[in-house]
Amino acid sequence: MKQQSSRASAVADIASRPTPTRTINYHEESPEDLFGVNTFSLAVMEQTLGAGTYSSLLETIQDGKKLDGKVADEVADAMRAWAMSKGATHFTHVFYPLTGFTAEKHDSFYDPGGDGATAISKFKGKTLIQGEPDASSFPNGGIRATHTARGYTAWDPTSPAYLIENPNGTTLCIPTSFVSWTGEALDKKTPVLKSMQALDKQARRILNLFGHKEIAHVSASAGPEQEYFLIDKAFYYSRPDLLAAGRTLFGAPSPKGQEFDDHYFGVIPDRVMAFMYEVDRELFKLGIPSKTRHNEVAPGQFEIAPVYESANVASDHQQLVMTTLKKVADKHGLVCLLHEKPFAGLNGSGKHVNWSLGNSTQKNLLDPGDTPHENAQFLVFAGAVIRAVDKFAPLLRAVVASAGNDHRLGANEAPPAIISIFLGEQLADVFEQIKAGGATTSKQRGTLNIGVDTLPELPKDAGDRNRTSPFAFTGNRFEFRAVGSNQSIAGPLTAMNTIVTESLDYIAGKLEGASDLNGAIQEVLEEILRDHGRVIFNGDGYSEEWHAEAAERGLPNLKTTPDALPALTSPEVVEIFEKYGILTEAELHSRQEVYSEQYCGYVNVEANLVAEIGRTVIFPLAIEYAKELAEASAVLGGAGRVTMEKVKEQAIALEGALEKLDEFQAAAGDDPKAWGTTVVPAMLEARAAGDALEALIPDERWPLPTYQEMLFIK
């Protein structure tokens, strides 16, 4: 009965907590003053570096020029002095291994002095540029063995260093790449940087064709929207499945779920609002442009979104956003759940990655303007994306594949596993005209008169939005909606950059040397629409009809991670990644192996938890309650026998499912398909029996916090 009292005390503790009190005074500390105070920003560099060093570094950061190693000593000294002036005592090279999480090893600025009584602060250029973690201790897919452990971190000057504050000290964090002793990428960042470099080169070729004389460095930009759940810490620590797997493996539906749509954009609870204010404050200090916050569809679900920035920086910032959400939640007695599907039967969480490309001279290259049919440059770049998404749809599905995301994709709450593009009415019409021989008109924006005199007329977009599309055009960018909430956005960014690079290269080859550029553009766009137009779909991606139609079109439908991961090493993917110097065949194989192992490992952990909770928590309680009902029924002339039989039936079903689960786990080995096709269904079978028992056993006896409590008590 100990767990029963734990659940009851958790509810009582939460109910007795006071309303949050104000701890932030924006009259004394404005957001403008806070923004970027903990980043070694361009403004700080300009103040602390010599003119020559600053100019050289600026060319690397903004124009993609090769880093001049001679500037490292001056930058390191200025960075150390700035960090120590803000209380830093240690520094760390932050990198992003194939775990998908953040890694760091902290070193002190101080060395003991020769007199034995003093300490001297040191931080040299060579220390800034290079670190050496153990490469064999991180997932590497066989690239590094235990006896070949050397790996290097390499300073990325394009992503600003920053400070992380702790109540007992401050640490300077330096974003880095992580590579093996033989040069292979062991991380998420290095491929992003390489793909952005390749994209810049091919985009410039296209811009040259349109007669531009001054072409600044072309960069991919990104803005990931992060969805997450919040539950009270007391509930979290009472649920072994949440604690170890990040999602509930048992749990009957709450009597009230999300069916009334009353949570979406609803009034934010005070406690959650206090958390959100502090999250924004901490992100602003790190120079992360947090912009939007609101309730999401499911109860207990929320979203935060930033302003767009360079894709590499956005990727680093996204890792910081996830870390900050978790840290700040803990301070407020909450736990932030980033799992894609923490609660069955409710909407899961995604991370919609808004992606575009542009520069300081030609601006956003995916901005159609008011008359897209006349904007040939835009049509070429948009056409390149259409071709890329259709040709490499399996790759896009593979880079969002995970055990967690499998529960979300295609569940009538998120895009289907079928990769398609939504263009909207205006662009779809323009491309249909091109396919028919040439575009001459564009649907224009209108005006929406609501019919209430006191309300203003509203400008009406030329087309609607589509939330069921995995890859949707949203005005001046594409939104990759299939990315999971717990995933790094680096893999999706690398894939998008690389496949669009290949398409721009293809189109440039078709257009270069053409005597009639407009005629050649019309010809290549017609070809793209003829060969790849099947990927354009503006309808309801949730519908069964679309699944049937997609199959007729020949679009792949890779429903699970084991189905999707082989695309990472398909010949066409290996070819383009090697052609543009982004990942070698060995590096791609290593990633497929790592992600396959992770999938098997995650499912195995969940299966272990299902067995543990099923056998040690739910089954004994069911047997005890069935025995009590049988005894009561004998005394009361049969009363309670029906319920007893139901409890007995579900207890037997649970025991049988757990036996089956043991058998399938033992046989699955390292085969992802076996884990997906046998172990996962057995877990669901055990869950069905466990959830049925939750509905039969008296509430005061049930030891696990319920969906109703976790989702609605804040």
User: 3-state secondary structure string, 218-272?
Assistant: CEEEEEEEEEEEEEEHHHHCCCHHHHHHCCCCCCCCCCCCCCCCCCCCCCCCHHH
How far, in Å, are 224, 276, 575 from residue 319 at the CA level?
Answer: 11, 17, 30
Whether 432 and 576 map to the same domain: the answer is: yes
Residue 651 covered by a domain = no
pLDDT beyond 90 at 13: no
Nearest CA among 268, 207, 243 for reference residue 337 = 243
Query: Are 253 and 3 contacting, i.e. CB atoms less than 8 angstroms apart?
Result: no
Query: Are 328 and 278 contacting, i.e. CB atoms less than 8 angstroms apart?
Result: yes
What's the chain's average pLDDT? 93
Whether 400 and 334 map to the same domain: the answer is: yes
253-290: pLDDT as tens digits: 999 999 888 999 999 999 999 999 999 999 999 999 88
The gap from C-alpha 559 to its chain's centroid, in whole angstroms, comes to: 19
Determine the average pLDDT of the residues in 550-568: 97
> Which of 547, 568, 599 is a domain's end point?
599
Query: Are 627 and 699 contacting, i.e. CB atoms less than 8 angstroms apart?
Result: no
Query: Are 231 and 336 contacting, i.e. CB atoms less than 8 angstroms apart?
Result: no
Q: Residue 1: what pLDDT?
A: 41
The mean-pLDDT minimum among 121-130, 217-226, 318-327, 567-576 falls in 121-130
Nearest CA among 553, 539, 409 for reference residue 482 = 409
Whether 255 and 393 map to the same domain: the answer is: yes
> Which of 599, 622, 640 is a domain's end point?
599
Whether 228 and 331 map to the same domain: the answer is: yes
Residue 63 covered by a domain = yes
Angle between helices 424-435 and 376-391 (to 10 degrees): 90
d(CA 648, CA 640): 12
Query: Are 159 and 61 contacting, i.e. CB atoms less than 8 angstroms apart?
Result: no
The mean-pLDDT minimum among 145-149, 410-414, 627-631, 685-689 falls in 145-149
Residue 706 covered by a domain = no
Whether 492 and 580 map to the same domain: the answer is: yes
> Which of 599, 616, 641 is a domain's end point?
599
Q: How confident is the model at residue 116 (pLDDT cuts 50, 70, 90)?
A: low
pLDDT beyond 80 at 586: yes
Query: Are 78 and 49 contacting, i.e. CB atoms less than 8 angstroms apart?
Result: yes
Q: Residue 3: what pLDDT?
A: 44
Radius of gyration, CA atoms only, the chain:
28
d(CA 489, CA 311): 9
Determine the average pLDDT of the residues in 247-252: 98
Q: How confident is the model at residue 455 (pLDDT cuts 50, 70, 90)?
A: confident
Residue 54 covered by a domain = yes
Residue 709 covered by a domain = no
pLDDT beyond 80 at 6: no
192-203: pLDDT as tens digits: 999 999 999 999
Q: Residue 120: what pLDDT?
A: 63
Whether 111 and 250 map to the same domain: the answer is: no
Q: How confident is the model at residue 110 (pLDDT cuts 50, 70, 90)?
A: confident
503-542: pLDDT as tens digits: 999 999 999 999 999 999 999 999 999 999 999 999 999 9
- The tokens describing 451, both together, are 């019919």
CATH classification of the domain holding 167: 3.10.20.70
Q: Count structural domains, the chain.
A: 2
**pLDDT-above-70 percentage for the chain:** 96
d(CA 120, CA 549): 70
Determine the average pLDDT of the residues in 631-648: 88
Whether 406 and 530 map to the same domain: the answer is: yes
Q: Residue 4: what pLDDT?
A: 46
146-187: pLDDT as tens digits: 787 889 999 999 999 999 999 899 999 999 999 999 999 999
d(CA 137, CA 147): 11
d(CA 652, CA 623): 10
pLDDT beyond 70 at 114: no
d(CA 107, CA 90): 5
421-439: pLDDT as tens digits: 999 999 999 999 999 999 9
How far, in Å, are 53, 57, 161, 174, 597 from residue 45 at the CA level?
Answer: 9, 9, 11, 14, 43
Query: Which residues have C-beta within 8 Å of that of residue 165, sequence separation ≥ 6?
Result: 38, 87
Report DSSP state, residue 217. Answer: P
In 299-359, beta strands by DSSP E: 301-306, 309-310, 334-337, 351-359
Nearest CA among 493, 495, 496, 520 for reference residue 507 = 520
Q: Residue 285: what pLDDT?
A: 96
d(CA 41, CA 164): 15
Query: Which residues have C-beta within 8 Å of that of residue 8, sequence separation ≥ 6?
Result: 700
Q: Residue 266: what pLDDT?
A: 92
Q: How confident is the model at residue 692 (pLDDT cuts 50, 70, 90)?
A: very high
What residues form DSSP beta bridges with 130?
154
Residue 661 covered by a domain = no
- Angle 18-19-25 (CA atoms, 0-180°, nearest 5)? 125
Phi, psi dihedral angles at 600 (to 5 degrees):
-60, -40
Phi, psi dihedral angles at 123 (to 5 degrees):
-165, 100
Whether 181 and 202 map to the same domain: the answer is: no
Query: Are 222 and 355 contacting, i.e. CB atoms less than 8 angstroms apart?
Result: yes
Q: How confident is the model at residue 144 (pLDDT cuts 50, 70, 90)?
A: confident
CATH classification of the domain holding 217: 3.30.590.10
Amino acid in position 709: E
Residue 150 covered by a domain = yes
Phi, psi dihedral angles at 228 (to 5 degrees):
-160, 160
Q: Which residue has the higher pLDDT, 111 or 238?
A: 238
Whether 242 and 365 map to the same domain: the answer is: yes
Could you give the 3-state DSSP secondary structure of residue 641?
A: helix
Q: Residue 22: what pLDDT?
A: 63
Whether 441 and 477 map to the same domain: the answer is: yes
Per the structure, the complete domain to which residue 434 belongs is given by 196-448+457-599
Q: Residue 2: what pLDDT?
A: 43
Q: Residue 359: what pLDDT?
A: 97
Query: Are 681 and 657 contacting, i.e. CB atoms less than 8 angstroms apart?
Result: no
590-599: pLDDT as tens digits: 999 999 999 9
Q: Residue 230: what pLDDT?
A: 98
The mean-pLDDT minimum among 4-8, 89-93, 495-499 falls in 4-8
Residue 674 covered by a domain = no
Whether 178 and 200 map to the same domain: the answer is: no
Name the pTM for this structure: 0.95
Q: Residue 640: what pLDDT?
A: 82
Whether 207 and 129 map to the same domain: the answer is: no
